[in-house]
């Protein structure tokens, strides 16, 4: 069960049961829908921007503990960040969950709370759950209208 | 060139056993003996694909080691052996579903291709603008999408017979939907998500009263029930080898000879012709008219071995054993608080789909996997059905003849662990 505790850390369980910023945003500048056809996870991300900085971020959808908590922590982490900072964060997060992060599982300290997703690297089938919201955010910021699919 | 098999060798590993000895059966399946994440494998994903007995693995291996050659045209010894084994397998498949003639057994890649074949030939010939194809609300995507493609091409309409909350077909509604424009009823025999066994014999009868031909998708039925296409009287019956303890990439379309004869060919190529000039091609007779190109010879032979294996145990005893196991599993699983079984039809085959309060199936699947338990999670290629029940996905445990009550207990303990961890 050690591995599972590593995957389902307290912070992840907390955010999956009580997702933060879980709401439809009126007057969002950008929004996009993400979909994982394999497990039916759906997430919609809403973004407000001001001078290249994310001033508000929210999401709605349904999914597993990993995808819901990932979306929730994404909204918490990226609020107030510039687009460049958000992009950098995505790269680091992606490296962390795919096990390609420098410094091994501890990952980059600048990831902050997102480091709780380090356990995902041991479960390759769950990487898509962890990154769904992030891919969706990228698509929202590019202004793409199509639904992002993990497949 | 029609090949007529003279003698079929049955390589049944045991006579029809009176007693169902599951431990002995388990030893026939090499994959079951392994450990996964340090725990003994509990394989409960049989509706996706089943494990293979030694006899099937050996039959394929034997072909590649000794008899590998192309069939139906070689004059040499190897080709003769391969042709005989392959055509023997066709006869075994014929007898397995009690088809009147082996030429009514078309080898295809699986149930999906069988349905696509019917949509692409029968459908293309007989379905016109304004016509209707009738399916049910519990179809697998493979018995929805081929008809949607056909309907779009022809300007025809897909009609769907509804089900109740237990996952049973509403027969009166089904009968109402059989109308003057219905060209075919394409119906699932056993649902891959709900486990529902549809009363297909009665459903075929109602369709026939209105002159409507019927295709039955038997992918989930053939491994678990005794199928008799003459008794069912359906025009088409489709099933896959790999769910029947046989190899992947091989399956069967049974069709009534007179219906198949009237249909245009499926794909063009070798083996499906009797003579070709640049002006005109004369098609081969059944079943070769529908088998263009070099077939999955090893797969066909493996499927034949799987049928022998099942006959050795007896489909009736398999069904009886699985029924008992399903009853036990249903009772044990439904006792878990906060868990709801999706699909509670009165007549069910060994499929248990469930949802857990506040816990997503994907997380259930990962945690069970760590316990060595293989289940399927997701929409099971039946998204419209998920929508009908208002859920995005389920966890599905599906049973086979080699599963045991002890394994069900392991599953129940696994689900308890899921609750401890995530509940």
Query: Which one of B259, B288, B311 terminates a domain?
Result: B311
B62 located within any domain = no
Share of chain A above pLDDT 70, in %: 89
B307's enclosing H/E stretch is helix B297-313
Q: Is B422 on the interface with A (CB under 8 A)?
A: yes
Query: Which one of B311, B337, B367 terminates a domain?
Result: B311
Residues B302 and B339 in one domain: no
Residues B213 and B264 in one domain: yes
- Lowest mean per-residue pLDDT among B95-99, B217-221, B264-268, B320-324: B264-268
- Inter-chain residue contact A65 with B360, CB threshold 8 Å: yes
pLDDT over threshold 80, residue B29 = yes
CA distance linking residue A57 with residue B323, whole number of Å: 52
Interface probe, candidates B37, B357, B358, B363, chain A, greatest A C-beta count within 10 A:
B363
pLDDT digits (tens, 9 = 90+) for B366-404: 999 999 999 999 888 888 898 899 998 999 999 999 999
B50 located within any domain = no
**SS3 readout for chain A:** CHHHHHHCCHHHHHHHHCCCCECCCCCCCEEEEEEECCCCEEEEEEEEEECCEEEEEEEEEECCHHHHHHHHHHHHHHCCCEHHHHHHHHHHHHHHHCCCCCCHHHCCHHHHHHHHHHHHHHCHHHHHHHHHHHHHHHHHHHCCCCCEECC
Domain residue limits at B402: 315-418
Calculate mean pLDDT across residues B104-132.
98
State the CATH number of the domain containing residue B358: 3.90.1150.10
- Inter-chain residue contact B361 with A39, CB threshold 8 Å: yes
Q: Is the dihedral of CA B95, B99, B105, B109 positive or negative?
A: negative
Give the mean pLDDT of chain B: 94
Q: Where are the alpha helices (DSSP H) in B195-238?
A: 200-209, 229-232
Residues B283 and B360 in one domain: no
Share of chain A above pLDDT 90, in %: 71
B53 located within any domain = no
Residues B279 and B401 in one domain: no
Share of chain B above pLDDT 90, in %: 87
B15 located within any domain = no
Beta strands in B189-264 (DSSP E): 214-217, 236-240, 251-255
What confidence score (pLDDT) does residue B2 get?
46
| Confidence label for A15 from pLDDT (cuts 50, 70 and 90) | very high
pLDDT over threshold 90, residue B269 = no
- Inter-chain residue contact A126 with B378, CB threshold 8 Å: no
What residues of chain B lie within 8 A of the CB of A63, using their CB?
360, 362
What confidence score (pLDDT) does residue A147 get?
67
Is the bond leading into B287 cis (omega within 30 degrees of zero)?
yes
B34 located within any domain = no
Beta-bridge mates of residue B43: B374
What confidence score (pLDDT) does residue B60 get?
98
By CB atoms closer than 10 A (0-12, 13-18, 19+), residue B9 is exposed
Calculate mean pLDDT across residues A45-72.
94
What confidence score (pLDDT) does residue B174 get?
98
Residues B365 and B239 in one domain: no
CA distance linking residue B83 with residue B67, whole number of Å: 9
Q: Is B417 on the interface with A (CB under 8 A)?
A: yes
CA distance linking residue A52 with residue A81, whole number of Å: 9
Strand B39-40 and strand A30-36: pairing? Answer: unpaired
Token pair for B345 = 């039809």
Cβ neighbour number for residue B38 with a 10 Å cutoff: 8
Calculate mean pLDDT across residues B234-253.
98
CA distance linking residue A46 with residue B196, whole number of Å: 41
Residue B57, Ramachandran bin (φ over 0: left; ψ between -120 and 50: alpha; else beta): alpha
CA distance linking residue B302 with residue B89, whole number of Å: 8
Position of tokens 């696509």?
B116
Beta-bridge mates of residue B374: B43
Residues B326 and B284 in one domain: no
Token pair for A31 = 């929004």
Interface probe, candidates A7, A16, A37, A65, chain B, greatest B C-beta count within 10 A:
A65
Strand B182-188 and strand B339-342: pairing? Answer: unpaired
State the CATH number of the domain containing residue B128: 3.40.640.10
Q: Where are the alpha helices (DSSP H) in B97-216?
A: 111-118, 124-126, 145-154, 171-177, 200-209
By CB atoms closer than 10 A (0-12, 13-18, 19+), residue A7 is buried
Residues B142 and B256 in one domain: yes
Partner A, chain B 357-416, Cβ-Cβ below 8 Å = 358-363, 366-367, 370, 377-379, 383, 386, 392-393
CA distance linking residue B367 with residue B372, whole number of Å: 9
* B38: Cβ contacts below 8 Å, ≥ 6 apart: B372
Q: What is the nearest CA distance from A125 to chain B, expressed in angstroms?
A: 9
Higher pLDDT, B40 or A39: B40
Beta-bridge mates of residue B45: B398
- Inter-chain residue contact B362 with A39, CB threshold 8 Å: yes
State the CATH number of the domain containing residue A39: 3.90.1010.10
pLDDT digits (tens, 9 = 90+) for B52-111: 999 999 999 999 999 999 998 778 999 999 999 999 999 999 999 999 999 999 999 999
CA B264 to chain centre: 25
Measured between CA atoms, the residue of chain B closest to residue A13 is B422
B224 located within any domain = yes
What confidence score (pLDDT) does residue A106 get?
52
**Inter-helix orientation angle A65-78/A10-17, to 10°:** 90
What confidence score (pLDDT) does residue A103 get?
59
Active site residue B381: yes
Residues B198 and B328 in one domain: no
| Confidence label for B16 from pLDDT (cuts 50, 70 and 90) | very low
Residues B268 and B398 in one domain: no
Token pair for B1 = 């060139």
Residues B146 and B258 in one domain: yes
Partner B, chain A 75-114, Cβ-Cβ below 8 Å = none
B342's enclosing H/E stretch is strand B339-342
For residues B36 and B55, the answer to whether their CB atoms sit within 8 Å is: no
What confidence score (pLDDT) does residue A146 get?
58
CA distance linking residue A10 with residue B37, whole number of Å: 23
Of B220, B160, B231, the C-alpha closest to B189 is: B220
CA distance linking residue B235 with residue B7, whole number of Å: 28
Calculate mean pLDDT across residues A27-48.
89
Q: Is the dihedral of CA A126, A127, A132, A137 positive or negative?
A: positive
Q: Kindly provide the b/e burial profile for residues A52-77, where b requires at least 16 CB atoms within 10 angstroms of the residue's own CB.
A: eebebbbbbbebbbbbbbbbbbbbbb
Residues B360 and B379 in one domain: yes
- Inter-chain residue contact A17 with B358, CB threshold 8 Å: yes
| Confidence label for A144 from pLDDT (cuts 50, 70 and 90) | low
ipTM above 0.90, yes or no: no
Query: Which one of B279, B311, B343 terminates a domain?
Result: B311
- Inter-chain residue contact A8 with B421, CB threshold 8 Å: yes
3 state DSSP class of B163: strand
What confidence score (pLDDT) does residue B229 get?
98
Q: Where are the alpha helices (DSSP H) in B345-382?
A: 361-370
Q: Is B423 on the interface with A (CB under 8 A)?
A: no
- Inter-chain residue contact A39 with B370, CB threshold 8 Å: no
CA distance linking residue A134 with residue A12, whole number of Å: 16
- Number of domain units in chain A: 1
Calculate mean pLDDT across residues A61-86.
95
Residues B187 and B289 in one domain: yes
What confidence score (pLDDT) does residue A145 get?
54
Calculate mean pLDDT across residues B360-364.
94
Domain residue limits at A115: 2-149
pLDDT digits (tens, 9 = 90+) for A94-137: 999 998 876 555 556 788 899 999 999 999 989 999 999 999 99
- Number of domain units in chain B: 2
């Amino acid at each position: 069960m050690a591995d599972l505790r590593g995957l389902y850390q307290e912070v992840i369980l907390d955010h999956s049961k009580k997702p933060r910023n879980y709401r439809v945003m009126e007057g969002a500048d950008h929004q996009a829908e993400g979909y994982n056809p394999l497990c039916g996870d759906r997430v919609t991300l809403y973004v407000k921007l001001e001078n290249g900085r994310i001033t508000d971020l929210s999401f709605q959808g349904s999914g597993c503990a990993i995808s819901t908590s990932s979306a929730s922590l994404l909204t918490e982490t990226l609020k107030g960040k510039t687009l460049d900072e958000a992009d950098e964060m995505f790269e680091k997060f992606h490296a962390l969950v795919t096990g390609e992060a420098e410094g091994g599982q501890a990952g980059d300290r600048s990831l902050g709370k997102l480091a709780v997703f380090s356990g995902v690297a041991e479960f390759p089938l769950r990487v898509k759950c962890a990154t769904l919201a992030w891919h969706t955010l990228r698509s929202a910021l590019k202004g793409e209208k199509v639904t992002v699919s993990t497949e | 060139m029609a090949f007529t098999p003279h003698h079929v060798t049955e390589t049944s590993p045991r006579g029809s056993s009176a007693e169902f000895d599951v431990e002995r059966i388990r030893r026939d399946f090499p994959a079951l003996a392994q450990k996964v994440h340090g725990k003994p494998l509990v394989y409960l994903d049989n509706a996706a694909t089943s494990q293979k007995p030694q006899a099937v693995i050996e039959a394929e291996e034997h072909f590649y080691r000794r008899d590998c050659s192309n069939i139906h045209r070689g004059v040499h010894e190897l080709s003769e052996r391969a042709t005989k084994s392959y055509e023997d397998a066709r006869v075994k498949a014929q007898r397995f579903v009690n088809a009147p003639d082996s030429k009514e057994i078309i080898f295809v890649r699986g149930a999906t291709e069988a349905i696509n074949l019917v949509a692409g030939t029968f459908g293309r010939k007989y379905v016109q603008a304004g016509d209707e194809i009738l399916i049910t609300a519990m179809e697998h995507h493979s018995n929805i999408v081929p008809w949607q493609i056909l309907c779009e091409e022809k300007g025809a309409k897909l009609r769907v017979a509804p089900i109740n909350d237990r996952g049973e077909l509403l027969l009166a509604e089904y009968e109402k939907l059989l109308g003057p424009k219905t060209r075919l009823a394409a119906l699932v025999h056993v649902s891959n998500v709900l486990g529902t066994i549809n009363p297909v014999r009665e459903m075929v009868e109602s369709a026939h009263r209105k002159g409507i031909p019927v295709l039955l998708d038997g992918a989930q039925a053939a491994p678990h029930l005794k199928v008799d296409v003459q008794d069912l009287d359906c025009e088409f019956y489709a099933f896959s080898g790999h769910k029947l303890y046989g190899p992947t990439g091989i399956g069967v379309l049974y069709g009534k000879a007179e219906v198949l004869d009237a249909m245009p060919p499926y794909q063009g190529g070798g083996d499906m012709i009797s003579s070709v000039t640049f002006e005109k091609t004369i098609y081969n007779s059944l079943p070769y008219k529908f088998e263009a190109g070099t077939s999955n010879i090893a797969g066909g032979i493996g499927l034949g071995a799987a049928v022998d294996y099942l006959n050795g145990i007896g489909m009736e005893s398999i069904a009886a054993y699985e029924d008992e196991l399903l009853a036990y599993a249903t009772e044990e699983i439904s006792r878990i608080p906060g868990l709801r079984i999706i699909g509670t039809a009165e007549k069910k085959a060994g499929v248990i789909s469930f949802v857990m309060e506040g816990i997503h199936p994907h997380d259930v699947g990962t945690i069970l996997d760590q316990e060595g338990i293989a289940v399927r999670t997701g929409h099971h290629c039946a998204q419209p059905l998920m929508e009908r029940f208002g859920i995005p996905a389920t966890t599905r445990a599906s049973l086979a003849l080699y599963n045991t009550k002890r394994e069900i207990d392991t599953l129940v303990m696994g689900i308890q662990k899921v609750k401890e961890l995530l509940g």
